[in-house]
Amino acid sequence: MSVFNTTNSISTIKSYFDRHDGLQLSNRFTVQFFNVPSFSGTPEIQALSVEMAPRTILNVKDGLQGYGQGRLVPRYQEFLSQGVIITFPITNDNYLFNFFNNWFNFFYSSNYASNTPTAGGFVLPYYDAAVANTSMQILLLDPNGNINTRMNFTEVFPVESLPFQLAMRSENSYMTYSVTFGFRDVKYLAT
């Protein structure tokens, strides 16, 4: 059994970070989507920020005799707040704004919104055609752009777009668009 030095000296702290290859910078990441049903190929994505879904282990009280209502026994895992929130910068050609609106329209839109008067408006596609094969990957990168960790999300789909603001009082600010994504599962792969 190894015992680590528990002092808070500068050399102990520095040694800890040296052993673990430094700190993961929060601005070194990239986001990719695969098999998006409303898009052929791999979309060109540039994300400004990612807010990861919190994880929690829900539990049940076992009801055994003794103090209180018994022990808490882990029951299942849940991802709270419906998913991952990603914020994107919007360019002058509205590439990502249109990309995500087309994705939303793929699930549920009127003939008017989808620009396809012959399509059946307000008809949901089958899950296997719309969600089952869609995935997302978030890569955590080191300062040189090498991959530290892959986060692979399965069965990804947009849940909601968050409000965005257009304002005449803002000079030299650009438009951003935030989307919440639902998913079935996630796997963390350290490299």
* Domain architecture of the chain: domains with CATH: 21-53+82-190 (2.30.110)
pLDDT tens digits for range 153-190: 999 999 999 998 888 887 888 999 999 999 988 999 99
Contacts of 191 (CB under 8 A, 6+ apart): 146, 147, 148, 149, 150
Average pLDDT score over the chain: 85
What does the block give as tokens for 129?
Answer: 């055609």
Nearest to 72 by CA among 58, 84, 86, 85: 58
- What span, in angstroms and rounded, lies between the C-alpha atoms of 159 and 150? 22
pLDDT of residue 191: 84
**β-strand partners of 77:** 57
The angle at the Cα of 129, spanning 127 to 131, to the nearest 5 degrees, equals 55
State what percent of residues in the chain have pLDDT above 70: 87
The whole-number average pLDDT for the span 96-108 is: 89
